[in-house]
Structure 1
């Protein structure tokens, strides 16, 4: 009976995505612990390393997180000296997020992470690139549905 349940689970796309996501996050954990950031905080940093500043709303959209999840995380990041949160001078309802010097400095310390994760996957680079393209298309399709 157990084997049948396992086979059924392995046929479920949602389970495969969920299980892979959990395993991937586990692989990131020891690497991010060295930086003293969580995986969601790392995602915020990745976005801010690419752009000078983002609004809380835009961060939420890009990370697919609601403000109830995002705001406490950003407060912790601010308390840890990684970011600053400031009301926009153009729109007081909007809160801008920017990296501090400490947050910027983490970029150099984190530059090894993508290669380490890639090495752990054990897959050919083209296989991984194809998977990313497929997953991005799936995400867009699901969001549009």
Structure 2
């Protein structure tokens, strides 16, 4: 039997997306390195800065990440004093995440590096194409899959 690209990785949406994601993640990681943050940590702090406190479950849903992976990513941030993770006052089963003043300061220090990486990508890729890419990727989240549902 003759194999074609359609039979394999050449047409795999997941592989194409992961390759691009690794490429961009490494670019943002490199840009953010002077601040000691990785791109994922920056994104978590950025989301937390928009909330007084949020449950791990809600934060995971907001950034489309499973709870276990999010909890793993929160540990170094908590060790560095950039976030706190504590039981909820109203539901002891829920864990609340809050950005600390040190976390806000680190986020502020990282913003110029992030803006530079963002601008370089948009200059190279095109601002309109970048906006279309973000919209298309957001649409992926509405395809009806439930990857973290039990």
Aligned to 1:131: 133
SS at match of 1:140: coil
Aligned to 2:145: 143
Rounded to whole Å, the distance in 2 between the matches of 1:13 and 1:101 is: 40
Aligned to 1:55: 55
| Equivalent runs, 1:83-98 vs 2, <5 Å | 83-98=83-98
Q: TM-score, normalised by structure 2?
A: 0.80
Q: Which consecutive segments of 4 or more residues in structure 1 shift more than 4 A?
A: none
Rounded to whole Å, the distance in 2 between the matches of 1:64 and 1:135 is: 12
User: Please, what is the CA RMSD of the aligned residues?
Assistant: 2.2
Query: For the Cα contact (< 8 Å) 1:56–1:97, is it kept in 2?
Result: yes
Rounded to whole Å, the distance in 2 between the matches of 1:72 and 1:17 is: 23
Is it true that 1:81 corresponds to 2:78 in the alignment? Answer: no
1:62-95 Cα offsets, whole Å, 9 max, x none, are 2333332222322221111101112111111111
Count of residue pairs brought into register by the alignment: 140
Structure with more of its chain in helix, by fraction: 1
Aligned to 1:32: 32
Which structure has more relative contact order (CA 8 Å, sep 6+)? It is: 2
Unpaired segments ≥5 residues, structure 1: none
